[in-house]
Amino acid sequence: MTKLFVLPALLFGWLGIIACGDAPIQPSDPKLPPVVGPNTPPPHRAIVTSYAATPNIAKVGQQTTIMLTVKIADGTTSDSIYWSTKFGVVGSPGTMPPGTLAPHSGGPVSPGTTVFLTYTSPDPVLAVLSVIISLHPVDDPNLEPSDGQVLPIALDVR
């Protein structure tokens, strides 16, 4: 007789767990990003549309030219774009690569402009050049601007 009462209790308890398990889970962060769909307009921010570093792999003492074409994501052409750089050796945060990078920052430039930088190293190095693009002058290259982007570019000198 006890088995008849235990079996239904186990069955209903198990079904109750399944029913509760299907309850929607509330997100832990109430500030989730908005859903971006095909009809969502692009954000109003500065972006890099294309870039190249040539040659990449460079020989010691050889100049590498870095070219970046910048624009505003939503197609606006009336705003100016600014840029700055942050440079480091791969695997050694905070270590400046040997050699010369020029220029380090610039702007204002118009959307559609191609920015040219050059880098020459007297020693072999694997470096990361981070280019910070913004709609405002970049005062701190350690911060990612909300109105732009940070583009990392690997530079290899052997």
Please give the full DSSP string across 71-101, using - where no structure is assigned. EETT---SS-EEEEEEEEETTBTTPPPSSEE
pLDDT of residue 11: 47
Buried/exposed code over 99-130 (b: 16+ C-beta within 10 A; e: otherwise):
bebeeeebbebebebebebebbbeeebebbbb
Residue in the block written with tokens 């000198």: 157
Burial class of residue 2 in the structure, from the number of CB atoms within 10 Å of its CB (0-12 exposed, 13-18 middle, 19+ buried): exposed
Residue in the block written with tokens 């920052």: 105
- For the residues 6-32, what does the mean pLDDT come to? 51
pLDDT of residue 93: 79
Tokens of 43: 């954000």
pTM: 0.73
* CATH number among 1.10.3720.10, 2.60.40.10, 3.40.50.410, 3.30.930.10, domain 46-157: 2.60.40.10
State the pLDDT confidence band at 32, using cuts at 50, 70 and 90.
low
**Interatomic CA distance for residues 135 and 47, integer angstroms:** 9
**Interatomic CA distance for residues 146 and 30, integer angstroms:** 20
Query: Which among 22, 140, 39 is positioned nearest to 82, based on CA atoms?
Result: 140
- For the residues 39-54, what does the mean pLDDT come to? 89
- For the residues 83-103, what does the mean pLDDT come to? 94
Domain ranges of the chain: 46-157
Q: Which of 21-35, 40-54, 56-70, 131-145 has the lowest mean pLDDT?
A: 21-35
